[in-house]
Structure 1
């Protein structure tokens, strides 16, 4: 049914294009017959693989068009492939979702890792067009510093071969994130007020120049760049979230209504705190109205603003504060001080522990998650969402599986947990990224095994028999109609 709806939408979109007229586009349309002949000769090209019915593709379109027009003048081409028509091209390029963007260099693809806003696409492709390190002189240093929001420039002497090697390797590994320049002109370094060897990060926010003059090694310079590439406190959204995510630092969110009268005052008050803890955590503010679901995902009630939460991205933990009182800045100061001192416990969202377990499948909640680690039991757990279509389709088979092992509950547990109403505790060692996610823990072990087979009764039973340690054997019988249960293909997932 879903496929038919998508096909209908694609047909309607095509019909609308034929019936109406669109403004001239600088984005090239590629087909199976033209793909290789257009892409392979280009030293650098960005290609979008899309479907007309895809909402994310529709949101990307104006940004992609704007970027194509801007980059055209720099000799960088942008193209697109309609995967509802050019199925073979998209299959050959291993497109697994929409939109997928790939950077091609003479026909060789790599994943696009920039944002989906026009300025982000332009910046990313400009970086890709440059050598990993651009040679900068006193004549063009001023212009080079303005080429991006953050620009890294190393000042080295001609004899600094070891430092140049370190810097070049750093640039090669991080060219997607920064624009790297190299100055070997002593006069240029003197004019910039820098003594070689050193690295300066030029920024279009906060302090415009930040100097690194520590030991010249790649790891320390990389850590310096990661800490200084973001403002002391900035608004966070889909276009820049990955910058914070990839830093690995805890993220401190100030949730507020964007029209709040005291917003500027609070942000100004938080800047000294953000500066004090720079390198330990990043501070951001976020539109609480627009991203109320994200607030709830951090275990905030989402009923009144402002509020605050710290998310430890590496540790997969969260620390919410719903009520900031009359002085939000002081409340946040006190809370972050306790957090950094290790005095706070993470918030674990959990449904109440069921009073009875009268169904064929054990209903698991976060507060009793440790039941999974019973060393005497093989445990199979489905992490699901109530709205997930694949989960609903699996439910009858999964209930039958529970019934098969009902007489062996002391040795095999078949369980399920609503991952929208319960947090997976950090002790689990994994996070749920799609629905359904099915994990298996053999008896005597604390390590989880992913279930990736087809979701038929037979496959589940064979999987438990093969990977389990309890020794329990059951057989899959025909269902009431005499036919074998229908398998659902495992690769289908509904993303968070």
Structure 2
């Protein structure tokens, strides 16, 4: 086994080290294994930066499949294509890493390997502008164009359900209609934004125009309502069509214990109860 001092827990394993590899999995709960055939300097540099950011939280292992073909085949038999990254969690294979090969993405994953894919890395959210820092938010707002911004927290269940609806609405907008953006205000860097806009519930949707926040989004949470609002913004709540009582209940003959309250009998009916 050979250690690389410039990487935290980055190990180059040889064929005789299968026992050491298994021992490593027993003693480390969060292990990312990089299988490669030729030395990828860019990825090596990326892993070096990642290792510094996850010090004490994760272990990164490199296996040279050109030199250690038997070991590589035994461990990586399900994914013969190289390079590949496999993650092991609490001693067991967890998943094939399939996020971006960027330091930020790798660090985010290793800090929370069982968490959901960050929204800004989801290919389906390309139509949504993801604001990662207060400066990015200020830059968007300062343009003065209309923008609807969804402030959310990754753990929020309703936020998760709203995301695909929000994405669909963003994909239907024309550039002249403005922008639909999103910001994770659970991130420590964005804590000042929560305070500035008094965000106490998730998601919070605020409409911006003319370089400032104007009002909270007043409409319904469906794609068509979002699009309609962005094309013609108004602080007035969208009117929901009245739901009529179906025939066969109110207009049905015969005795019934159900009292249908209407404007002309409300006071009298309540007084009798």
TM value normalised by structure 2: 0.48
Higher RCO (CA < 8 A, seq sep 6+): 2
TM value normalised by structure 1: 0.28
